[in-house]
Amino acid sequence: MTDMMHIFEMLQPTSLDEAVALLDKHGKDGWVIAGGKDSLDWFKDRVKKPEYLIDISGVKELYGIQDKGDHIAIGPMVTLTDLSQNKLVRDLFPVLADAAGRVASPQIRNVGTIGGNICQDTRCAYYRDGFPCYRAGGNTCYANTPTAMNREHTLFEAKRCVAVTPSDTAPALSVLDAQMVIARDGKLRTVGVDDFFVGPEIDIERMTAVERDKGDLLVQIKIPKTWAGSRQYFEKVADRQVWDFALVNVAMAAKVGADGSIEAMQIACGAVQCTPRRLKDVESLVVGEKANADLEKLVERVAARGAKPLNYNQFKAPLMSQLAKRAVRSLSA
């Protein structure tokens, strides 16, 4: 509440090796800071108080967007502004560029990074307020009680915790089959996007495969060209048009044949569960179909099937259906 950060030691590695070594050394007491848009709130609220801050902004290996032939490689320190304006990304993966361009505000996108956007913690108001919930190591979910205020919370996969992914780029990466490269202890491992985002049933205290207390560092995001040049769509609905998290967002990539029939589609929504939610029913429904009003009706019918609203978020189910419908509608143009 005092808006004063605790005292910490700031470490500024200038190479990847140095950064990984520092993370290995400090483990639980260390904290990686990139753009700082998530970290600094935690510190100023004095809810999280790591002893060592490892500032990776000086690690040049973590920057850049490169065409690697069968995939493009994105450094996690690439800012959201740069990502949204990058020609390669815009040409091949407009869904990702558009998603990056809808995050927060221009000022935040100038500082916030793609790595930070996908690694950021949830925005559950109870968790952020310092309530000792499951995610914070306690034994209650305060956001899912008979009286809890949970307009922004989950429709699906509530496993003790009902917090949602706040990321706009995560659903885009999900439909593009992105892969994340993570360094630990001098070794690299590659994790597919479906395994990168972690729900509470796997680990309730983190949201991604990056395990901070084990010294993990996200070093690269690879996007295979499988969906390059496909028809893509991103839309975000939030209370405000800028500086806001999604109430629901949708990302889609689809391959459409010459006759207008949909050959393949991947579609995902954010802000409806802890991880980006692939709409598998929609994906299987649309194959072989042409986008038209009849198909839109069917999409609307199945997109949010299985949703289990909480006290205040039932609107998310129709909103999700409408966004899926609008994504499919974009193919009829």
Partner 1 sequence: MSYKIIGKDLTPPDIEAKVTGKARYAEDFRADGMVFVKVLSSPMPHAKVTGVELSKAKQVPGFVGVLTADELKQPKDAGHAILSNTPAFVGQPILAIAAETEQAAAEAVELVDVSLEPLPFVVDPLESLKPDGPDALDGGNVANRRGVKFQKIKWSGKDFALAGDDSLPKGEAPIDWSWGDLDAKFKESDLVLEETFVSSANAHHALEPRSAAAYWENGKLHLWGSTQSSSFAVPSLAKYVGIEPKDVVMVSEFCGGGFGGKGYAYPVMAIPAFMSKKLGGRPVMMRMSRAEEFYNGSARAGFQGWVKVGFGKNGRIKAIDAFVVQDNGPTAGFWDFQNFGDASSIVFQPEAMRYRGIPVLTNTPPKGPQRGPGENQTANIMEPIMNKAARKLGIDPLDLRLANSPGDGGKNAIVGAKQSPVTSAYLKEALEQGAKAFGYAEKKKNSGKRNGSKIRAVGIGQAYHSAGAAGFDGLVRITPDGVLHIHTGVGNLGTYSYMDTARVAAEVLGYNWDHCVIERGGTKANMPWNLGQFGSNTSFTMTRTNFAAGTACKNLLLEIGAQSMGGSPDDYELKDEMVVAKSGGGSMSFADAAKRAIELGGKFSGAELDEELNPMTKASAKALAGTGLVAAAKDKLPKKGTVPGLAAAFIEIDLDVETGRVEILDYLGIPDVGTVLHPKGLAAQVRGAAVMGFGLAALERIVYDPEYGRPQIRGLYQAKPPSWLDVPSAMKSVYVEGAIDPQNPVGAKGVGEPIQGAASSAYLAAITEALDGHTFNRVPVVADMIINHVNGLSQSHKPLQVNCQ
Q: Which stretch binds partner 1 (CB under 8 A): 83-91, 155-163, 206-214, 308-316?
A: 308-316
Interface with partner 1, residue 292, by CB under 8 A: no
Interface with partner 1, residue 194, by CB under 8 A: no
Residue choice 31, 93, 126, 234 for contact with partner 1 (CB under 8 A): 126
Residues 23-82 close enough to bind partner 1 by CB under 8 A:
44-46
In the sheet that holds 248-256, the strands lie side by side as: 231-237, 248-256, 262-270, 277-278
Residues 132-191 close enough to bind partner 1 by CB under 8 A:
142, 145, 147-149, 151
Number of residues that bind partner 1 (CB under 8 A): 39
Return the number of the residue (1 or 10) whose C-beta is nearest partner 1.
1
Interface with partner 1, residue 1, by CB under 8 A: yes
Residue choice 184, 222, 255, 326 for contact with partner 1 (CB under 8 A): 326
Ramachandran assignment for 269, one of left (phi > 0), alpha (psi -120 to 50 degrees), beta (any other) = beta
Interface with partner 1, residue 313, by CB under 8 A: yes
On whether the CB atoms of residues 250 and 200 are closer than 8 A, the answer is no
> Which residue(s) pair with 31 in the sheet?
53
Q: Which stretch binds partner 1 (CB under 8 A): 2-10, 154-162, 203-211, 261-269?
A: 2-10
> Which residue(s) pair with 265 in the sheet?
254
> Residues in the site for partner 1, rule: CB under 8 A?
1-4, 6-7, 44-46, 105, 125-126, 129, 142, 145, 147-149, 151, 237, 239-244, 247, 311-316, 318-319, 322-323, 325-326
